[in-house]
Structure 1
Amino acid sequence: MTTTTLIVEDHPLYRGALVHLMHVVLSEAITLEASSAEEGLRMVDQAENLAVIMLDLGLPGLRGVDAIASFRYKCPSALIVVVSASEDRRETMAAIRSGAKVVLSKAVSTEVMADIMRRLLNNELLEPVWITANGKIAIDEEASVKLTPRQQEILVLLSYGQSNKEIGLRLGLAEITVKMHVSAVFRTLKVVNRTQAVSAARRLGLYQISEVG
């Protein structure tokens, strides 16, 4: 079965360079192009055997971690590679927490990009990597912290000061089930109480305050 890749980049010249890069790395792959995340998401529905999605972190419209999360939802098996003009650590860690396997600075040479892509496709990269013009940058241990969708919902309600019983009624869960989820959140975030959990989640960008259910 033919492999498909998707390049999502709003700058035509740089998009063309990424398409060429992908042809060098995967000469027999079909490479699709999109100038926005919205356009790319529509293409995902038609793509067969989509292996890699390369997207700019600073796209117009849907962008950043929201774009990454949307592509992961649509195509959870695809490897997501982020390219970015920014080398901001906070943005990079957020991208990795959202599911990016590789974050590449646009200042990196095409030779280095090609090498990283080959290693990624050969399953040689066991952990997320961040590559800048200065080389490989250490990934914060916190970037690997992930919560399940249910745990994120419960964290939002914890931030509102709701009790386990109130959360259970809101989400249709038994109180003991909520307690188990809360304990799991504490272990994941390495905290001992609700205040610390909410503070840690905000600092790590693991959820946004919004309505639940």
Structure 2
Amino acid sequence: MTGIRVLIVDDHPVVRDGLSGMLRHVEDITVVGDVADGESALAFVAAHDVDVVLMDLRMPGMGGVAAIRTLGKQAPDVHVLVLTTFDTDSDVLPAIEAGATGYLLKDSSAATLVEGVRAAHHGRAALAPSVAGRLISSVREPAPGALSPREREVLTLIADGATNRDVAARLFVSETTVKTHLLRVFEKLGVRDRAAAVSEGHRRGILS
């Protein structure tokens, strides 16, 4: 029995080595490989039997979200468990929307990681508490006139000087979707342009 076949994807060699060492001693888990980016992960899965991909998100070249989305099309039977440092809306929501089965943080305990791999293998969600909270918040109906979590993200990025193209790339959505979010922000804030939206966002305390 080879157990659950796991591929580790992370651009830091020390992290890959540490995770391999941690999982190597678990009886029902076998680390079949480790790679440094999304493109290498896709190639490895295409050439080897993999059950669970332990995926970082922010990597040079093809990042985790793009890799998750492509894996869903090319290898739908392979489950992805995100393991990253980041739990912001702009990281969590795109990863889950792309098809990640679970989402854990790198400060998780070894026991939590092992159980997360097992859960992902069976198609069950394994979520860090902060991630679960963000997902719950994202599906709750905002108060009338209040900005949704995604609209807040767009406004925050615009306030930082991002263009529509920059926002689309950061949130892994189309520029048309960004424009739609902006129009809703303008309507809810009662403004007509980006500068006024940023000013009103600061006035209302939406932007720090």
Aligned to 1:162: none
Which structure shows the bigger proportion of residues in helix conformation? Answer: 2
Find the partner of 1:137 among 122, 132, 135.
132
Tell me the percent identity.
22
Distance 1:209 1:102 in 2: 28
Give 1:5's aligned amino acid: V
Give ranges in structure 2 of 5+ residues lacking alignment: 140-149, 155-170, 177-208
Distance 2:29 2:132 in 1: 31
Would you say the 8 A contact 1:10–1:36 is kept in 2?
yes
Q: Report the CA distance shift for 1:111/1:46 in structure 2 as closer, same or farther (over 3 A).
A: same
Would you say the 8 A contact 1:85–1:105 is kept in 2?
yes
Between stretches 25-34 and 53-62, larger displacement belongs to 25-34
- 1:115-147 per-position Cα deviation (integer Å, ceiling 9, x unaligned): 222333355x3xx34315xx6633535878xxx
Aligned to 2:33: 32
Distance 2:120 2:46 in 1: 24
Residue 208 (1) aligns with residue 208 (2): no
Would you say the 8 A contact 1:81–1:100 is kept in 2?
yes
| Structure 1 residue 33: Cα displacement | 0.9
Would you say the 8 A contact 1:69–1:98 is kept in 2?
yes
- TM-score normalised by length of structure 1: 0.58
Aligned to 2:201: none
Give 1:111's aligned amino acid: A
Where in structure 2 are the equivalents of 1:129-208 lying within 5 Å? 129-131=126-128, 137-138=132-133, 140=135, 207-208=173-174
Distance 2:104 2:38 in 1: 18
**3-state DSSP class of the match of 1:130?**
coil
Residue 5 (1) aligns with residue 2 (2): no
Give 1:208's aligned amino acid: S
Distance 1:120 1:25 in 2: 16
Residue 117 (1) aligns with residue 117 (2): yes
Cα RMSD of the aligned pairs, angstroms, is 3.2
**3-state DSSP class of the match of 2:34?**
strand
- 1:136-183 per-position Cα deviation (integer Å, ceiling 9, x unaligned): 633535878xxxxxxxxxxxxxxxxxxxxxxxxxxxxxxxxxxxxxxx
| Structure 1 residue 58: Cα displacement | 0.8
**3-state DSSP class of the match of 1:81?**
strand
Give 1:4's aligned amino acid: R
- 1:4-47 per-position Cα deviation (integer Å, ceiling 9, x unaligned): 32111111111112223333445463521101112121111211
Distance 2:52 2:5 in 1: 7
**3-state DSSP class of the match of 2:83?**
strand
Q: Report the CA distance shift for 1:136/1:96 in structure 2 as closer, same or farther (over 3 A).
A: closer
Q: Report the CA distance shift for 1:142/1:98 in structure 2 as closer, same or farther (over 3 A).
A: farther
- TM-score normalised by length of structure 2: 0.59
Aligned to 1:63: 63
Q: Report the CA distance shift for 1:26/1:76 in structure 2 as closer, same or farther (over 3 A).
A: farther
Q: Report the CA distance shift for 1:29/1:87 in structure 2 as closer, same or farther (over 3 A).
A: same
Aligned to 2:99: 99
| Structure 1 residue 54: Cα displacement | 0.8
**3-state DSSP class of the match of 1:21?**
helix
Distance 1:30 1:129 in 2: 19
Distance 2:29 2:117 in 1: 15
